[in-house]
Structure 1
Amino acid sequence: MDSYATNTVFVEGVLDEHRIGDSRFSWSPDVSLGWLDGRDIAHFDGGRYTTRDPIWLVAGGARLHYGDAGDWYRPLFLSFQPALHTGRTQALSTPYEFVSTLGWQGRRFSVQIRHISNGNLHHPNRGETMALVGVAFNP
Protein backbone atom coordinates (compact mmCIF):
# COMPACT_ATOMS: atom_id res chain seq x y z
CA MET A 1 0.00 0.00 0.00
CA ASP A 2 1.45 3.37 -1.02
CA SER A 3 4.96 1.81 -1.22
CA TYR A 4 4.85 0.71 2.46
CA ALA A 5 5.78 -2.96 2.52
CA THR A 6 4.52 -5.56 4.97
CA ASN A 7 4.77 -9.32 5.49
CA THR A 8 2.22 -11.40 3.62
CA VAL A 9 1.48 -15.14 3.47
CA PHE A 10 -1.02 -16.98 1.25
CA VAL A 11 -2.01 -20.64 0.98
CA GLU A 12 -3.78 -21.45 -2.24
CA GLY A 13 -5.60 -24.48 -3.59
CA VAL A 14 -6.22 -24.96 -7.30
CA LEU A 15 -8.69 -27.71 -8.16
CA ASP A 16 -9.24 -29.73 -11.35
CA GLU A 17 -9.12 -27.91 -14.66
CA HIS A 18 -12.14 -27.66 -17.00
CA ARG A 19 -12.02 -26.84 -20.71
CA ILE A 20 -14.38 -24.04 -21.81
CA GLY A 21 -16.31 -25.59 -24.71
CA ASP A 22 -14.15 -26.27 -27.76
CA SER A 23 -11.92 -23.27 -27.10
CA ARG A 24 -8.29 -23.28 -26.00
CA PHE A 25 -9.33 -21.63 -22.71
CA SER A 26 -9.68 -23.57 -19.47
CA TRP A 27 -10.54 -22.67 -15.89
CA SER A 28 -9.94 -24.14 -12.45
CA PRO A 29 -11.65 -23.38 -9.15
CA ASP A 30 -9.16 -21.45 -7.00
CA VAL A 31 -9.36 -20.80 -3.24
CA SER A 32 -7.00 -18.71 -1.09
CA LEU A 33 -6.40 -18.09 2.58
CA GLY A 34 -4.14 -15.14 3.30
CA TRP A 35 -2.66 -12.97 6.02
CA LEU A 36 -1.33 -9.41 5.62
CA ASP A 37 0.43 -7.85 8.59
CA GLY A 38 -0.46 -4.36 9.78
CA ARG A 39 1.84 -1.36 9.35
CA ASP A 40 2.94 1.39 11.71
CA ILE A 41 2.32 4.51 9.57
CA ALA A 42 1.73 7.42 11.93
CA HIS A 43 0.14 9.89 9.47
CA PHE A 44 -2.89 7.55 9.08
CA ASP A 45 -3.48 7.19 12.86
CA GLY A 46 -5.99 10.09 13.02
CA GLY A 47 -8.20 8.75 10.22
CA ARG A 48 -11.28 6.54 10.35
CA TYR A 49 -9.09 3.62 9.25
CA THR A 50 -5.46 3.18 10.26
CA THR A 51 -2.90 0.81 8.79
CA ARG A 52 -2.32 -1.18 11.97
CA ASP A 53 -4.89 -4.00 11.65
CA PRO A 54 -3.54 -7.36 10.51
CA ILE A 55 -5.87 -8.86 7.89
CA TRP A 56 -7.01 -12.47 7.51
CA LEU A 57 -8.58 -13.08 4.11
CA VAL A 58 -10.47 -15.95 2.47
CA ALA A 59 -11.19 -15.88 -1.26
CA GLY A 60 -12.64 -18.18 -3.90
CA GLY A 61 -12.92 -17.83 -7.64
CA ALA A 62 -11.47 -19.06 -10.92
CA ARG A 63 -8.04 -19.35 -12.49
CA LEU A 64 -7.95 -19.04 -16.29
CA HIS A 65 -5.39 -20.57 -18.67
CA TYR A 66 -4.99 -20.43 -22.44
CA GLY A 67 -3.44 -23.00 -24.73
CA ASP A 68 -2.73 -26.69 -24.76
CA ALA A 69 -0.36 -28.71 -22.59
CA GLY A 70 3.15 -28.13 -23.90
CA ASP A 71 2.54 -24.58 -25.17
CA TRP A 72 5.21 -22.26 -23.73
CA TYR A 73 2.56 -19.81 -22.47
CA ARG A 74 0.37 -22.49 -20.85
CA PRO A 75 1.79 -21.92 -17.31
CA LEU A 76 0.64 -18.26 -17.41
CA PHE A 77 -2.67 -17.61 -15.69
CA LEU A 78 -5.11 -14.92 -14.67
CA SER A 79 -7.38 -15.35 -11.65
CA PHE A 80 -10.22 -13.42 -10.09
CA GLN A 81 -11.63 -14.06 -6.62
CA PRO A 82 -14.18 -12.27 -4.47
CA ALA A 83 -12.90 -12.20 -0.87
CA LEU A 84 -14.02 -11.66 2.72
CA HIS A 85 -11.62 -10.48 5.41
CA THR A 86 -11.18 -9.32 8.98
CA GLY A 87 -9.99 -5.88 10.03
CA ARG A 88 -10.24 -2.53 8.29
CA THR A 89 -7.31 -0.51 6.99
CA GLN A 90 -6.59 2.36 4.62
CA ALA A 91 -5.94 -0.26 1.92
CA LEU A 92 -8.76 -2.72 2.68
CA SER A 93 -11.65 -0.71 4.11
CA THR A 94 -14.64 -3.02 3.52
CA PRO A 95 -15.40 -6.59 4.67
CA TYR A 96 -15.33 -7.71 1.02
CA GLU A 97 -12.62 -7.20 -1.59
CA PHE A 98 -11.73 -8.40 -5.08
CA VAL A 99 -8.50 -10.30 -5.72
CA SER A 100 -6.93 -10.16 -9.20
CA THR A 101 -3.79 -12.17 -9.94
CA LEU A 102 -1.50 -12.50 -12.95
CA GLY A 103 1.00 -15.30 -12.57
CA TRP A 104 3.10 -18.17 -13.78
CA GLN A 105 2.72 -21.66 -12.27
CA GLY A 106 5.46 -24.18 -12.96
CA ARG A 107 5.60 -27.72 -11.66
CA ARG A 108 6.94 -26.74 -8.23
CA PHE A 109 7.16 -22.92 -8.17
CA SER A 110 4.94 -19.95 -8.92
CA VAL A 111 5.42 -16.21 -9.32
CA GLN A 112 2.44 -13.88 -9.03
CA ILE A 113 1.48 -10.22 -9.05
CA ARG A 114 -1.66 -9.83 -6.94
CA HIS A 115 -3.90 -6.83 -6.33
CA ILE A 116 -6.60 -6.72 -3.64
CA SER A 117 -9.13 -3.88 -3.70
CA ASN A 118 -12.81 -3.16 -3.12
CA GLY A 119 -13.17 -1.92 -6.70
CA ASN A 120 -13.72 1.67 -5.59
CA LEU A 121 -17.06 0.76 -3.98
CA HIS A 122 -16.00 2.37 -0.67
CA HIS A 123 -13.41 4.94 0.37
CA PRO A 124 -10.58 4.85 1.13
CA ASN A 125 -9.65 2.44 -1.64
CA ARG A 126 -5.85 2.30 -1.67
CA GLY A 127 -5.74 -1.48 -2.20
CA GLU A 128 -2.84 -3.85 -1.70
CA THR A 129 -0.51 -4.84 -4.55
CA MET A 130 2.08 -7.52 -3.96
CA ALA A 131 4.61 -9.80 -5.59
CA LEU A 132 4.26 -13.39 -4.39
CA VAL A 133 6.64 -16.31 -4.81
CA GLY A 134 5.30 -19.75 -4.05
CA VAL A 135 6.20 -23.41 -3.68
CA ALA A 136 3.78 -26.08 -4.95
CA PHE A 137 2.92 -29.23 -3.05
CA ASN A 138 1.02 -31.88 -4.98
CA PRO A 139 -0.85 -34.25 -2.64
Structure 2
Amino acid sequence: MQLPCGSALRSGVVALALAAAPLAAAGSDIELAAGASTTTDREFTRTASIAWVPKLRDLDNAVLRAQTGLIYVDGRGPVTDRDLEDEVWVGYVGLRYERTDNGLTLGAAIGAQSGETDALSGDPQFVTSVGWRWDRFSLSVRHISNASLHSPNNGETALVGAWRF
Protein backbone atom coordinates (compact mmCIF):
# COMPACT_ATOMS: atom_id res chain seq x y z
CA MET A 1 0.00 0.00 0.00
CA GLN A 2 1.40 3.38 -1.00
CA LEU A 3 1.33 5.90 1.84
CA PRO A 4 0.44 9.50 1.04
CA CYS A 5 3.56 11.68 0.86
CA GLY A 6 2.85 13.35 4.23
CA SER A 7 2.38 9.98 5.98
CA ALA A 8 5.58 8.63 4.47
CA LEU A 9 7.50 11.67 5.68
CA ARG A 10 6.03 11.35 9.19
CA SER A 11 6.95 7.66 9.22
CA GLY A 12 10.48 8.54 8.14
CA VAL A 13 10.87 11.17 10.83
CA VAL A 14 9.59 8.77 13.51
CA ALA A 15 12.01 6.07 12.34
CA LEU A 16 14.92 8.54 12.40
CA ALA A 17 13.98 9.64 15.92
CA LEU A 18 13.86 6.00 17.07
CA ALA A 19 17.25 5.39 15.49
CA ALA A 20 18.67 8.33 17.51
CA ALA A 21 18.11 6.61 20.86
CA PRO A 22 20.91 4.01 20.63
CA LEU A 23 23.25 6.57 19.07
CA ALA A 24 22.56 9.05 21.87
CA ALA A 25 23.38 6.33 24.40
CA ALA A 26 26.81 6.04 22.77
CA GLY A 27 27.57 9.71 23.58
CA SER A 28 27.26 13.02 21.83
CA ASP A 29 28.19 13.81 18.23
CA ILE A 30 24.71 13.01 16.92
CA GLU A 31 23.77 15.00 13.83
CA LEU A 32 20.22 15.48 12.53
CA ALA A 33 19.76 16.91 9.03
CA ALA A 34 16.88 17.81 6.74
CA GLY A 35 16.65 19.31 3.28
CA ALA A 36 15.58 18.94 -0.32
CA SER A 37 16.88 16.40 -2.83
CA THR A 38 16.70 16.39 -6.61
CA THR A 39 17.47 13.94 -9.39
CA THR A 40 18.21 14.38 -13.12
CA ASP A 41 15.14 16.29 -14.33
CA ARG A 42 14.79 18.46 -11.23
CA GLU A 43 12.20 16.29 -9.53
CA PHE A 44 12.50 17.54 -5.94
CA THR A 45 11.60 15.71 -2.74
CA ARG A 46 12.28 15.91 0.98
CA THR A 47 15.14 14.17 2.73
CA ALA A 48 16.21 13.70 6.34
CA SER A 49 19.06 11.90 8.05
CA ILE A 50 20.65 11.01 11.34
CA ALA A 51 24.34 10.30 11.83
CA TRP A 52 26.76 9.52 14.60
CA VAL A 53 30.07 11.30 13.89
CA PRO A 54 32.57 10.48 16.67
CA LYS A 55 36.03 12.05 16.56
CA LEU A 56 38.78 9.66 15.46
CA ARG A 57 41.80 11.96 15.39
CA ASP A 58 42.84 15.58 15.70
CA LEU A 59 44.86 16.84 12.75
CA ASP A 60 46.54 20.21 12.07
CA ASN A 61 43.58 22.62 11.79
CA ALA A 62 41.18 19.71 11.24
CA VAL A 63 39.38 16.75 12.78
CA LEU A 64 38.93 13.31 11.22
CA ARG A 65 35.64 11.69 12.19
CA ALA A 66 33.97 8.36 11.56
CA GLN A 67 30.40 8.62 10.31
CA THR A 68 27.61 6.10 10.40
CA GLY A 69 24.05 7.01 9.66
CA LEU A 70 20.71 6.59 8.01
CA ILE A 71 19.34 8.75 5.17
CA TYR A 72 15.65 8.91 4.25
CA VAL A 73 14.58 10.08 0.75
CA ASP A 74 10.84 10.65 0.46
CA GLY A 75 8.99 9.22 -2.54
CA ARG A 76 7.74 11.60 -5.20
CA GLY A 77 4.36 11.64 -6.86
CA PRO A 78 3.99 10.02 -10.29
CA VAL A 79 6.55 11.26 -12.83
CA THR A 80 6.13 10.49 -16.54
CA ASP A 81 8.49 7.71 -17.71
CA ARG A 82 10.30 7.60 -14.33
CA ASP A 83 9.95 5.39 -11.26
CA LEU A 84 10.47 7.79 -8.34
CA GLU A 85 7.48 6.97 -6.13
CA ASP A 86 9.07 4.71 -3.48
CA GLU A 87 10.70 6.05 -0.35
CA VAL A 88 14.32 4.97 -0.01
CA TRP A 89 16.46 4.45 3.08
CA VAL A 90 20.26 4.36 2.85
CA GLY A 91 22.36 3.15 5.79
CA TYR A 92 26.04 4.11 5.50
CA VAL A 93 29.51 4.13 7.12
CA GLY A 94 32.48 6.29 6.19
CA LEU A 95 34.82 9.14 7.12
CA ARG A 96 34.42 12.89 7.49
CA TYR A 97 37.15 15.54 7.38
CA GLU A 98 36.30 18.82 9.14
CA ARG A 99 38.50 21.93 9.05
CA THR A 100 38.63 23.76 12.37
CA ASP A 101 39.96 27.01 10.87
CA ASN A 102 37.48 27.68 8.03
CA GLY A 103 34.62 25.17 8.56
CA LEU A 104 35.11 23.18 5.33
CA THR A 105 33.66 19.67 5.68
CA LEU A 106 34.22 16.74 3.30
CA GLY A 107 32.65 13.30 3.65
CA ALA A 108 32.77 9.95 1.87
CA ALA A 109 30.86 6.79 2.76
CA ILE A 110 29.50 3.55 1.38
CA GLY A 111 26.04 2.24 2.09
CA ALA A 112 23.18 -0.12 1.37
CA GLN A 113 19.61 0.83 0.51
CA SER A 114 16.09 -0.30 1.24
CA GLY A 115 13.54 0.68 -1.39
CA GLU A 116 14.35 1.42 -5.00
CA THR A 117 13.73 4.14 -7.57
CA ASP A 118 15.27 5.17 -10.88
CA ALA A 119 17.44 7.57 -8.85
CA LEU A 120 18.67 5.01 -6.29
CA SER A 121 18.70 1.63 -7.99
CA GLY A 122 21.03 -0.81 -6.31
CA ASP A 123 23.76 -1.53 -3.79
CA PRO A 124 26.29 -0.36 -2.99
CA GLN A 125 25.44 3.33 -2.72
CA PHE A 126 28.24 5.89 -2.38
CA VAL A 127 27.52 8.98 -0.27
CA THR A 128 29.72 12.04 -0.77
CA SER A 129 29.32 15.48 0.74
CA VAL A 130 30.89 18.92 0.84
CA GLY A 131 29.82 21.73 3.11
CA TRP A 132 30.63 24.23 5.83
CA ARG A 133 30.20 24.03 9.59
CA TRP A 134 29.59 26.89 11.98
CA ASP A 135 29.80 25.51 15.52
CA ARG A 136 26.84 23.07 15.77
CA PHE A 137 25.13 24.05 12.49
CA SER A 138 26.26 22.94 9.03
CA LEU A 139 25.06 23.33 5.47
CA SER A 140 26.08 20.66 2.95
CA VAL A 141 25.52 19.32 -0.54
CA ARG A 142 25.22 15.53 -0.43
CA HIS A 143 25.21 13.16 -3.40
CA ILE A 144 24.09 9.51 -3.29
CA SER A 145 24.80 7.27 -6.28
CA ASN A 146 25.78 3.71 -7.14
CA ALA A 147 28.57 4.90 -9.51
CA SER A 148 26.89 3.24 -12.54
CA LEU A 149 27.18 -0.25 -11.03
CA HIS A 150 23.43 -0.73 -11.69
CA SER A 151 21.08 0.95 -14.17
CA PRO A 152 19.49 3.37 -14.08
CA ASN A 153 21.99 5.49 -12.16
CA ASN A 154 20.40 8.92 -11.75
CA GLY A 155 21.45 9.47 -8.13
CA GLU A 156 20.11 12.00 -5.62
CA THR A 157 21.72 15.36 -4.84
CA ALA A 158 20.51 17.16 -1.72
CA LEU A 159 21.03 20.47 0.02
CA VAL A 160 20.75 19.79 3.75
CA GLY A 161 21.02 21.79 6.93
CA ALA A 162 22.20 19.88 10.03
CA TRP A 163 22.43 20.39 13.77
CA ARG A 164 24.96 18.45 15.87
CA PHE A 165 24.10 17.60 19.47
Q: How does the TM-score come out when normalised to structure 2? A: 0.70
CA distance in 2, matches of 1:30, 1:24: 19
Q: Could you state the TM-score of these two structures normalised by the residue count of structure 1? A: 0.82
Name the structure 1 match of 2:69: 32
Instruction: Point out 4+ residue stretches in structure 1 off by more than 3 angstroms.
Output: 23-26
Mapped pair 1:95 → 2:116: no
- Mapped contact 2:94–2:109 kept (Cα < 8 A): yes
Alpha carbons 1:116, 1:129 under 8 Å: kept? yes
Question: What is the number of residues matched between the two proteins?
Answer: 126
Aligned ranges for residues 1-139 of structure 1 at < 5 Å? 1-2=39-40, 3-19=42-58, 26-44=63-81, 50-66=83-99, 69=100, 71=101, 73=102, 75-137=103-165
RMSD across aligned C-alpha pairs, in angstroms? 1.8
Letter in structure 1 aligned against 2:154: R
- Structure 1: runs of 5+ lacking an equivalent: none
Kindly indicate which of the two structures has a greater share of residues assigned to helix.
2
CA distance in 1, matches of 2:89, 2:154: 17
- In 1, the alpha carbon distance for the partners of 2:74 and 2:81 equals 16
> Unaligned stretches of 5+ in structure 2?
1-38
C-alpha deviation, 1:26, in angstroms: 4.2
Structure 1 contact 35–55 (Cα < 8 Å) conserved? yes
Do the aligned residues in 2 keep the contact of 1:86 with 1:95 (CA within 8 Å)?
no
Give 3-state SS (helix, strand or coil) of 1:121's partner.
Answer: coil
Structure whose CA Rg is larger? 1
Q: Answer whether contact 2:74 2:86 (CA < 8 A) is retained.
A: yes
Give deviations 1:56-79, integer Å, cap 9, x for gaps.
11111000134xx4x2x2x21110
Q: How far 1:106 sits from its partner (Å)?
A: 2.0
The structure-2 alpha-carbon separation of the partners of 1:4 and 1:56, relative to structure 1 and needing over 3 Å to count, comes to same
Letter in 1 for 2:149: L
The alpha carbon displacement at 1:25 in A equals 5.7
Alpha-carbon distance in 2 for matches of 1:77, 1:42: 34
Q: Percent identity?
A: 31
Which fold has the larger relative contact order, with Cα–Cα distance below 8 Å and residues 6 or more apart in sequence? 2
Query: In structure 1, how many angstroms separate the alpha carbons of the residues matched to 2:56 and 2:135?
Result: 15
Letter in 1 for 2:53: V
